[in-house]
Amino acid sequence: MSEMLYCEGCGAILQTTDQTKAGFIPSSALETGNRICQRCFRIKHYNEVIPIQMDEDEFLEILHSIGQTDNFVVQIVDLFDIDGTLISGLPRFIGHNPFILVANKIDLFPKSVKYEKIKHWLRKYVNEHGLFPEEIFLISAEKNIGLKEVIHYLEKEKGNRDVFVVGATNVGKSSFINQVIQILKGKQSHIELTTSRYPGTTLNVVRIPFIDGKDIIDTPGIVNHKRFSEWVGPKTLKAILPNKTVKPKVYQLAGEQTLFWGGLARIDQVGKTRNNFVCYLANGISIHRTKRENADEIYQKHLGELLKPPTIEEAKQLPPFAKHDFRFTGRNKVDIVISGLGWVAVDGEPTNIEVYVPKGISVHLRDALI
Ligand code: GDP
């Protein structure tokens, strides 16, 4: 595009190159004279929001401006990648504005988990990260679990404030907003969504009329580059995002063994100990167990074939493995979390564990969640 064109809906600069960013319009639509971005088009004609993204730094600045006025904030996290999707800098930016934490994708957890236990764990975890939400909700946007409770809470507690919904990419923010629209439509038959700029910023937001003349506002998803989902190609992304209840896979390891999670991660039990490794990851990722001494060779020979995902093609786009060392003390069960991929719960004898993932992806230890 030679001259700069702006979306007639939200005012974003129109662009035809990146579907995930503000102002995207397919070039075919642009050629026929349309001046409305795909996001505004979907909102206008289908009352549906589609995700757009923004880098965390850029977004935190915008959050800051949200914090300057009186608002209510809903932060959505992905229960399957809590660490990678928690915006721990939130309080610094939203100031004294109240916020609630909505943890999505509870449908992925085994049916036997106790909601109260997960909530308790979450509260402790987020408190340790300096977050003190007014309330925590466990929901599934896709299976419509728990949404009514969130809306009911907002109706009661939001006071005379707009409600801002914030979250990292792929947490299910669009799915959440779209369910909210459906529920609100059931209550007020005609809801008209609008797009606008947040005052003083370049942020394009979607406004959904809520109650008492106040809105629920969708914001761009924040990109966290330490998560797997931001590094992999589309085929691998599809394989690593779980879409069904995750079946924990239990491995009893007897020393000096390796588990490959496809070709995406390698977990080594170092030393001659006995441990249980319970793996929580998308069912479509195959786990391959081997002797540690053979692991290098297997990886060299079989990446993209026996060890997949990724496909051979998509493996080439990933950075080389970097090693992360952990000490399991044997006292309490722990999870080793690979951001955006899953986690392994470890118990048994004290041991050292090495985890290999593409450089740049975050790996860390936490108290066991389940
Ligand atoms: P956004 O980037 O935060 O707007 O996320 P989307 O709403 O586009 O969802 C990202 C991915 O998570 C998609 O593959 C959705 O199908 C999936 N997803 C969203 N909500 C849920 C949920 O409640 N459960 C499960 N299992 N998947 C979900």
Give bridge partners of residue 266 from the DSSP assignment.
Answer: 260, 356
Atom of ligand 1 nearest to the CA of 143: 23
Going by pLDDT thresholds of 50, 70 and 90, the confidence category of residue 2 is: low
Cα 201 to Cα 182: distance, rounded to the nearest angstrom: 29
pTM over 0.75: yes
Q: CB of 241 within 8 A of CB of 170?
A: yes
Residue 225: both structure tokens together = 């580059």
Ligand 1 touching residue 175 (CB < 6 A): yes
Distances, alpha carbon 252 to alpha carbons 235, 334, 348, in Å: 31, 15, 10
| Mean pLDDT computed over every residue of the chain | 91
Domains in the chain, CATH or no CATH each: 1-51 (no CATH), 56-224 (3.40.50.300), 236-367 (no CATH)
Distances, alpha carbon 219 to alpha carbons 164, 179, 199, 245, 322, in Å: 7, 16, 13, 28, 34
Q: How far does residue 116's CA lie from ligand 1's centre (Å)? A: 23
Atom 19 of ligand 1: nearest residue by CA position: 172
Q: How far does residue 104's CA lie from ligand 1's centre (Å)? A: 8
pLDDT tens for each residue of 285-337:
999 999 999 999 999 999 999 999 999 999 999 999 999 999 999 999 999 99
Q: Supply φ then ψ for residue 10, to 5 degrees.
A: -110, -10
High-pLDDT (> 70) share of the chain, %: 98
Query: What stretch of H or E contains 136?
Result: strand 136-138
Ligand 1 touching residue 170 (CB < 6 A): yes
| Average pLDDT value for residue range 58-79 | 88
Q: How far does residue 175's CA lie from ligand 1's centre (Å)? A: 6
Among 89-103, 249-263, 278-292, where is mean pLDDT lowest?
Answer: 89-103
| Average pLDDT value for residue range 190-214 | 77
Ligand 1 touching residue 204 (CB < 6 A): no
Ligand 1 touching residue 51 (CB < 6 A): yes
| Average pLDDT value for residue range 256-278 | 97
Q: How far does residue 83's CA lie from ligand 1's centre (Å)? A: 17
Q: How far does residue 145's CA lie from ligand 1's centre (Å)? A: 13
